[in-house]
A and B are shown apart, each in its own frame.
Chain A
Amino acid sequence: MDHHHAHSTGSRDLRMARSMCWHCQSEMAGEYFCERCVKVQPVSKDTDYFICFGLPRRLTIDQNKLEAKFYELSRAFHPDFYQNKSDAEQAISLGNSATLNTAYRTLRDPIQRAEYLLDLEAGSVKEIRTSPPSDLFEEILELQETVEAYRASDRDSETGREILAQLVAERQALDQRKQDMEHQLEQLFTDWDTLQDRGDATSQARAERDRLLKQMREILSNRTYVKNIVNDLAETIE
């Protein structure tokens, strides 16, 4: 969840342009280490995680490549290797490692990765509502009542057992629903990546792009609702 605090929306690529080495003030061209004095450079908290890992901004990514790059950068930044360095370098190492760990955690998980990409691509789809659609909302309310009834009931009684059976069935249905949404998402991810790979700049492509973003946002938000209910339900009946 913490990447939500870590970045704000805006033009990230601009901030990637490096200026000067904090230590020797020379013009920076290298990625994370100054070419002249070899000092580690602070990674901006607003760095695009995809760029950080050298990956294209896509929803399907090469997990092996991600992990290999994570290990490589960990070896470059980890505080273990800065014990003999100056306080300034130790502070940069600590900050960079923390940012790197957040970036890795975000990109490794497909859902978090999609959420992150949606934030990056926000633009025209910013105003999408995040409340559940009314049919889902009504279901949640109804289910909540059943859960309450179950909690109040004598669990060994006839009614208690009946409600439990009902809740178990509800849970199965919700689990199925969650899975369906994940399948839908997978399809949307592929569609998105294909569209990006084509790289069309036509108004038709732009409309398609917005449609995909909007759909992903909706399903992601509904999935979060369903996931929370399933967890809540599991706690009550297990």
Chain B
Amino acid sequence: MTAMARIIGIDLGTTNSLVAYMKDGKPCVIPGRAGRAMVPSVVAMTDNGLIVGDSAKEHLTRSPERTVYSVKRFMGKSLADVQNELAYFPYALTEQGGVIRIKLGEKTYSPPQISAMILKELKQRAEAHLGESITKAVITVPAYFNDSQRQATKDAGLIAGLEVLRIINEPTAASLAYGLQDKTQGTIAVYDFGGGTFDISILKLKNGIFEVLATNGDTHLGGDDLDRRIADLFLSEIQTGHHIDLTASPDHMQAVRLEAERAKIRLSDELNTQIEVELPDGKGRYSRELTRDQLESMVMEIIERTLAPCRLALKDAELTTAQIDEIVLVGGSTRMPLVRQRVQELFGKQPHCNLNPDEVVALGAAVQADILSGGTTDMLLLDVTPLSLGIETMGGVMSSLIRRNTTIPASAKELFTTYVDGQTGVDIHILQGERELVKDNRSLARFRLKVPPLPAGVPRIEVTFLIDANGILNVTAADMRTGQRQSIDVKPSYGLSDNEVERMIEDSFKFAQEDVTARKLIEARLDAEALIVTTEKSLAEGGRLVAEDVLASIRAALSALTSAKDGHDPKAIRARMADLELAAKPLSVALLDDSLKRTLQGKTVTEIM
């Protein structure tokens, strides 16, 4: 067997991430220096640069506004998608080109960039352990992830310097790890309740083939939501009992969230636990006892929400609970006794949990990696697409092309023509979802089909929509008259463009090689340049609006910043920038007043009101 570059398996989780590889026909996770296999999915911006994992987790309460956790919730999402939970996150979120950006210090980062930092940490860990360079990986995602979320995960791998050979679904990865161990045959249900997402997959295992029959889930339902429910109780009790509103204090909010998480974990083994939270400004501490019963009545409703997807998946697989031979539990949240109880009640059988629910997904990713490198040949996973794929048709209705739970790779063809003589383009809007109307489904991408100018109805362009084994859509088109293929420039609705990803890959390499001060100097110079340009523009527009002495001090501050910028001290540059901003304040106020005045001119009172 020719030596092929090693492929590692990565579980990129909401709360924790792991890396695993195949060793002598058995998958095993790679521990870090401290012996722990799990890397907290946390990235912190410190004065000494970016740090990841356990050390970053310590910064959650120390510098909450510069410490990113649960970034997986933002993958492939726009700001509008997460509007109702923004208040829970202490770090600042903005949006650019339909993609969320996270503000850390002076820079903003897209969720794939933050995820890439976690991936890099795992990559380095594997390289240190195996003593070789690693460039290829299999990365897991929730089965119910849509196209944008999968693409964002693939982008994260690229930015981290990893070729992502396969995006594999978490529950199916888990089934591979189980199947390898037990040589199970029959129908199994994998119930995967993680930190941020919930998935249910139903599979048929036969002679080494793992055929997914149906999958369902909720990509916004996980342990995070349980923690939030508990934290809300603590916060309201602190509010009423101690008259302190912690919502304005990000570090204390984090402390409460972490205490809620720890209490939840303890209550999986114990029947009651003591809660302690230090209050700000020496106002003492909040303490109470929390029992398992109290916890369960609080989170019951959230756990119930996992059962509806289970029923839908069974319905799509055309199976009853009695026909399920085994139930496999995956994800940290399945450690809760109430979760196990509800799953057992639904399926009428005791669920399996032989393998560590935190590690089983990474182990399965390593098995899939081994299949791809030609090591394991007797196992084959046949997965499905979780959501129906379609295009927008007349009247804002979605026409479905590939139905949910279709085995992938899957393809569909559609013939397009024109309605007007000489029309040179047809706009196509691609969607994913189960609803009738376009507005209720997820917009994936848009593109314009180029058509030769001919009489209406004469052009015949065949578009092929192909969902590959990663669950990612590829679109190609061919002119049926000439047989010529056409390249399509698909613009993702909620994703980074190819150029952007490329720039981020470059950035990522660049920053890895430079030391932190050098990076800070570059950033400071760029910011200084931007400030100089905007100030000069303001001077040109509004110089006449302010007094001569204001103008003089702005000019002085400008020249001081210009010379600092040519120096090599980022701190000095930042200081001169602050000076300039202060000096220019009267000017910006005057400009604002002026533009407001002009806007209001000529309008009636009611319009202004």
A13 to chain B, nearest CB (A): 22
User: Which residue on B lies nearest to A101, using beta carbons?
Assistant: B407
What is the CB-to-nearest-CB distance from A232 to chain B, in angstroms, rounded to a whole number? Answer: 11
A-binding segment of B55-63, B233-241, B409-417, B552-560: B409-417
Closest to A2 in B: B412
- In the bound complex, how far is the Cα of B381 from the Cα of A5, in angstroms? 27
Contacts of B402 in A (CB 8 A): 2
Q: B209 — which chain A residues lie within 8 A by C-beta? A: 71, 74-75
A105 touches which one: B372, B380, B381, B407 (CB < 8 A)?
Answer: B407
Select from chain A the residue with minimum beta-carbon distance to B165.
A83
Determine which of B374, B380, B400, B401 lies in contact with A78 in the assembled complex, contact meaning CB atoms within 8 Å: B380
Q: Distance (Å) between the CB of B65 and the closest chain A CB?
A: 43
Q: Tell me if A6 and B413 are in contact (CB < 8 A).
A: yes
Q: Given A5-B414, A94-B466, A105-B406 in contact, is the A80-B206 Cβ separation under 8 Å?
A: no
Q: How far is the CA of A74 from the CA of B382 in the complex (A)?
A: 8
Kindly identify, within residues 1 to 28 of chain A, every residue whose CB is under 8 Å from any CB belonging to chain B.
1-2, 5-6
Q: A75 near B466 (CB under 8 angstroms)?
A: no
* A83–B403 CA distance with the chains assembled, in angstroms: 27
Tell me the complex Cα distance, A79–B407, Å: 13
Residues in A136-195 with C-beta less than 8 Å from chain B: none
A81–B410 Cα distance when bound, in Å, is 17
Q: CA of A48 to CA of B148 in the docked complex: distance in angstroms? A: 35
The answer to whether A101 and B406 touch across the interface, beta carbons within 8 angstroms, is: yes
B451 on the A face (CB < 8 A): no
Structural contact, B409 and A1, CB atoms closer than 8 A: no
**Closest partner residue, chain B, to A94 (CB atom):** B409
- Does the CB pair A98–B410 fall under 8 Å? yes
Number of contact residues on A: which range applies? 20 to 34
**A202 interface hit (Cβ, 8 Å):** no
| Residues in chain A near residue B380, CB distance under 8 A | 74-75, 78, 80-81
| CB–CB B381/A80 < 8 A | yes
Q: Bound complex: CA of A84 vs CA of B377, how far in Å?
A: 13
In this assembly, does A116 line the interface, its C-beta being within 8 Å of a C-beta of chain B? Answer: no
What A residues does B207 contact at CB under 8 A?
71
**In the complex, A3→B422 CA distance in Å?**
31
Cβ of B469 under 8 Å from chain A: yes
User: What B residues does A81 contact at CB under 8 A?
Assistant: 374, 377, 380
Smallest CB separation, B432 vs chain A (Å):
15
CB interface residues, A 63-83, toward B, < 8 Å: 71, 74-75, 78-81, 83
A102, CB-defined interface residue at 8 Å:
yes
A85-114 Cβ-contact flags toward B at 8 Å (1 or 0): 000000000110111011011000000000
Do the beta carbons of B372 and A80 come within 8 Å of each other? yes
> Chain B, 145-174, contact with A by CB distance < 8 Å: what is the 0/1 string?
000000000000000000001100000000
The reply to whether A78 and B469 form a contact with Cβ atoms under 8 Å apart is yes
The answer to the question of B322 belonging to the interface, with a C-beta cut-off of 8 Å to chain A, is no
* Contact residue among A6, A71, A97, A104 (Cβ-Cβ distance under 8 Å from B409): A97
Q: How many residues of B contact A (CB 8 A)?
A: 32
Q: Which of A84, A95, A98 contacts B374 (CB 8 A)?
A: A84
Assess whether B373 is interfacial by the CB under 8 Å rule.
Answer: yes
Q: Which A-chain residue is minimally distant from B211 (CB atoms)?
A: A71
Interface string of B178-217 (1 = CB under 8 A from A): 0000000000000000000000000000110100000000
Asked whether A83 lies within 8 Å of B409 as measured between CB atoms, the reply is no
A79 close to B468 (CB less than 8 A): yes
B407 touches A104 (CB 8 A): yes
Contact A83 B413 (CB under 8 A): no
**Residues in B443-472 with C-beta less than 8 Å from chain A:** 466, 468-469
Is B4 among interface residues, defined by CB-CB distance under 8 A? yes
Instruction: List A contacts of B501 (CB < 8 A).
Output: none
Q: Is A5 in contact with B412, judged by CB distance below 8 angstroms? A: yes
**At the interface, yes or no: B317 with Cβ under 8 Å from chain A?**
no
B371 at the interface (CB under 8 A from A): yes
Measured between beta carbons, the chain A residues less than 8 angstroms from B4 are: 84
If A74-B209, A104-B407 touch, does A79 touch B469 (CB 8 Å cutoff)?
yes
Closest chain A residue to B379, Cβ basis = A80
The one of A1, A80, A99 in contact with B469, judged by C-beta atoms closer than 8 angstroms, is: A80
Q: In the complex, given contacts A1-B401, A81-B374, what are 18 additional A-B residue pairs having Cβ atoms less than 8 angstroms apart? A: A2-B401, A2-B402, A2-B410, A5-B414, A5-B415, A78-B380, A79-B468, A80-B166, A80-B368, A80-B371, A80-B469, A84-B373, A94-B409, A94-B468, A97-B469, A98-B466, A99-B411, A101-B406
22 CB < 8 A contacts A-B: A1-B403, A2-B402, A2-B410, A5-B401, A5-B413, A5-B414, A71-B209, A74-B209, A75-B380, A78-B380, A79-B409, A79-B469, A80-B381, A83-B373, A84-B373, A94-B409, A97-B409, A97-B469, A98-B411, A98-B466, A99-B411, A101-B409
